[in-house]
Amino acid sequence: MPEDKIDHINFTKLNENAISPPLVDHIYTADPSAHYFGDKIYIYPSHDIDAGDAFDDLGSHFAMEDYHVLSMDSINSKAFDNGLALHVRDVPWAEKQMWAPDANEKDGKYYLFFPAKDYDGIFRIGVAVSDSPVGPFKPQPNPIKGSFSIDPAVFRDEDNAYFMYFGGLWGGQLQRWNNGEFNAKFPESPTAFIPEDDAPALLPYVAKMRDDLLEFDETPRPIKILDESGNMLLAGDNQRRFFEAAWLHKHNGKYYFSYSTGDTHFICYAIGDNPYGPFFYAGRILNPVVGWTTHHSICKIENKTYLFYHDSSLSKGITHLRCIKVAEIKYRDDGTIVTLDPYKDFHF
């Protein structure tokens, strides 16, 4: 959201009209990845810390150096901060910028998947393991081989196959990997190497995980997101094309790939018959929130489905300090999702 619009928002009125309050307010949190392990809700957010640097589109103003895991006994209970789960100083290969993570469980072990910049300034994706869903997590000494960019999300299918979805434009560096190698030219430009508006949009990636969940079991492949006619979404279609925040969930036998459109601030989704896609664009899950970014996860809890998301209402418009929230989402009979407005009867 542009700074000039934020300056004119009545945050008292906005918060009164919000469909959800912040889940925690003692720290700034963002990018919530929620899971229902056993009979308890666990949320894996990023941790916003102001770096004191000038605001930019590369994320330089984020000093995101650790992760805290939140837990809830039920969707209506208070969220509890379980303390430090992993710090960048404990990750041998990582220098800084521990952005949006995810987690999953297998055979009683819990795996935290996270992006960070290595000492060459390149985003990679790492794995850390714990006997507890809240950590502490012990990181692997090296990132996943062949990993790049940001926003890992790991989906477990009904046959117990695990797939990682990832990628993010601009500061997330996805556009720098078009030729299979990192392009370090013009590092100060977040939009260098973005396709022209009439060219196909850049795509997120998916890879099946190895049985131990520590490495890819295959070379990551791009995920096709198609329009209603079966054509690739174009780079200039920035109200529908993928930008970041990949997530996959399943509903009535269909695979729902959801994501953020980034600079236009929508959470959108596309539906397919296969975890690899292709996915056909189906609409919006969440309209824009106040703040610089939008990011989400979707979690089924008992017999309902919930959207976990963030905005910047807690920091009253300091756009890079965010707070996580939750709201129920509902499906129509045809499987499409009813779009949520984050603030009832409130217009920016």
Catalytic residue, chosen from 31, 48, 102, 151, is 31
Q: Tell me the CA distances in angstroms from 273 to 250, 255, 280, 332, one per residue in order.
A: 10, 6, 10, 18
Instruction: State the Cα–Cα distance between residues 211 and 292, nearest whole angstrom.
Output: 37
Catalytic residue check, 107: no
Residues 6+ apart with CB under 8 A from 99: 31, 46, 59, 62, 64, 114, 115, 116, 123, 150, 151, 172
Residue 174 phi, psi (nearest 5): -60, -40
Q: Give whole-number Cα distances, 147 to 99, 152, 182, 219, 254, in Å.
A: 15, 10, 11, 9, 27
Q: Which of 48, 102, 244, 311 is catalytic?
A: 244
Q: To which H or E segment does residue 12 belong?
A: helix 11-17
Place of tokens 């489905």: 305
DSSP, residue by residue, 106-138:
ETTEEEEEEEEEETTS-EEEEEEEESSTT-PPE
Question: Which long-range contacts (C-beta less than 8 Å, at least 24 apart) are formed by 63-67?
Answer: 63/96, 64/97, 64/98, 64/99, 65/89, 65/96, 65/98, 66/98, 67/98, 67/101, 67/112, 67/114, 67/135, 67/137
Q: 169 and 202 in contact (C-beta within 8 Å)? A: yes
244 is catalytic: yes
Sequence-distant (6+) residues with CB within 8 A of 77 are: none
- List the catalytic residues: 31, 244
